[in-house]
Structures are given as structure tokens and as C-alpha cells.
Amino acid sequence: MSQVNLNNVGVVILAAGKGTRLNCTDRPKVMLEIGGKPIVSYIVNTLEKMGLSKEQIVLVVGFKKEIVEDYFGDKVSYAEQTELLGTAHAAFTGIKKLPENIENVLVLAGDDSAFYTAETLEKFMSNHILGGNKVSLLTAKVENPFQLGRIVRHENGDVEIIEKEYLTEEQEKINEISTGTFCFDRYWYEDMFPTMPKLRKLGEYGLPTALAMVRDKKEKYDIVILENPQEWFGINTLEQLEEAKKRLNQ
């Protein structure tokens, strides 16, 4: 099992999104069902199996939050994102809700994390803590990276996430993508967030900016490639929702 003590690790799951492309009008996107259960319930289940308590698991809710709260009850903790100001803001909202003893935080999206295994997450968190990193990012090499941000690795060793809106033709050929799954040193993140600039085109605070900030401050960060890229699966369209159902059956 894990090489590190998970008692002072917290997890923030982003679950406030509306799912416009999936025509979710009556419930949050993460509450769409695969295999008869909400997408987000699979990751919550995995975290519980890892022995994390309800205080250590925070769901960041927003749109139709009562549906999420009714389903999970007191199995997890909740933080409400009243204004949808982006993923980094949602993470900050969730982190503030964690108990004071939590030193490192895993941040993931409720709509693309259903297939992560406990082993993958434990390994990722252990690597982050033992490495003394301020930021760790999980990436994946995928066959069809269309509509996803890419990981650009520079010759000097620097790594950056280029959002899909900003990709050059050359960068579009890259198949390594950001899963959006991060580990953060909690104190570093809480200090950094108030100084974070908004993303130019989107006008909101994005988690990729945290990577740029740790890099610019010359602090320690790590990029970990997911061993089994099938474990990350983003659900943004009805086709992907159907594909997720098929994967579950396999």
C-alpha cells in the first residue's frame, strides 16, 4: 500500500459544473449516471476504500448542489462555489474547507476520474510528498488529444500546459495531455492563489496557471505520466458518456 501516511492528505473533487455540452439542465454533470450510479460516485468510493475519512474528502458543489448532497449525505464534506470563477478558484474553495492538519491536497475533477485506481492515486500522492514538491501534475498520453490542453516539454527541462485555445499547429501534434489531476502543498497553494492572474481568454482562474507559477518561482514540481492512460476518461459529450458506460462493462 501507500509509502506515506495518508492521514494528513486531503482530496478536493470539483463537482460544481453544469455540463452544458451534455444538456444537463436538471442535475450537475458529475451526477449523470454510468452503470446506474453517478459518475462522481466511483472516485468517492475509491477514496473511501483507501481509508480516507469524510473530513478528508471535499466535494466542491455549485449548480443544483442539493442533488449531490442528497446522494452522498454525510459520507463526504462540501464546499460551495457560489461564483463559477474557474478550476483554480474551485480548488481554493475546497482546500479552505479541509481540516488544519491537512498538508497536501489531491485535486481532481468529478467528471473524468471515475476509472482511477487506488493504487494510481496512492502512488501519485506518495511521489508528491516524498519528493517534497509544491505541485505535481498527472499527465496521460492519449490517441486522440483533440479538444484537450497539451503538455509542452522544453529543452531546458521546463514543462508547461498549453490550453486548447492557445495551441499552435505544431503543438496540436503532441499527444501528452494534462489530466487536470494535481497534488499541491496546501500552504503553498493558499499563499499563491490570491496572487494568481486570470486566464486571458476565459477570464477565470485555471489550475494550469498554478504550474506556471511554481515554475516561475523556481520551486519544486513534478510531472508524472499515467501508467495506464485508460484510467483517465473525460466525459464532455453524449458519445463519451456512452463510451464510459462501455468501459465500465469491460
- Average pLDDT on 50-69 reads 94
Asked if residue 89 belongs to a domain, the reply is yes
The domain total for the chain is 1
What does the alpha-carbon distance between residue 107 and residue 58 come to, in Å, rounded to a whole number?
A: 10
Asked if residue 169 belongs to a domain, the reply is no
Per-residue confidence band for 101, with pLDDT thresholds at 50, 70 and 90: very high
Per-residue confidence band for 99, with pLDDT thresholds at 50, 70 and 90: very high
What's the DSSP call for residue 32? Answer: S
Least confident of 23-27, 33-37, 188-192: 23-27
Asked if residue 161 belongs to a domain, the reply is no
Asked if residue 146 belongs to a domain, the reply is no
Asked if residue 17 belongs to a domain, the reply is yes
156 burial level (CB within 10 Å; 0-12, 13-18, 19+): exposed
Q: How far from chain centre, in Å, is Cα 225?
A: 15
Which tens digits make up the pLDDT trace of 117-151?
Answer: 999 999 999 999 999 999 999 999 998 888 888 99
Asked if residue 167 belongs to a domain, the reply is no
Q: Is the pLDDT of residue 1 over 70?
A: no
- The answer to whether the CB of 71 falls within 8 A of the CB of 99 is no
- The answer to whether the CB of 175 falls within 8 A of the CB of 142 is yes
Asked if residue 74 belongs to a domain, the reply is yes
Residue 120 Cα distances to 52, 71, 117, 126, 231, angstroms: 15, 26, 5, 10, 9
The range of the structural domain enclosing residue 222 comes to 6-137+178-249
Output the domain CATH number for residue 241. 3.90.550.10
Asked if residue 166 belongs to a domain, the reply is no
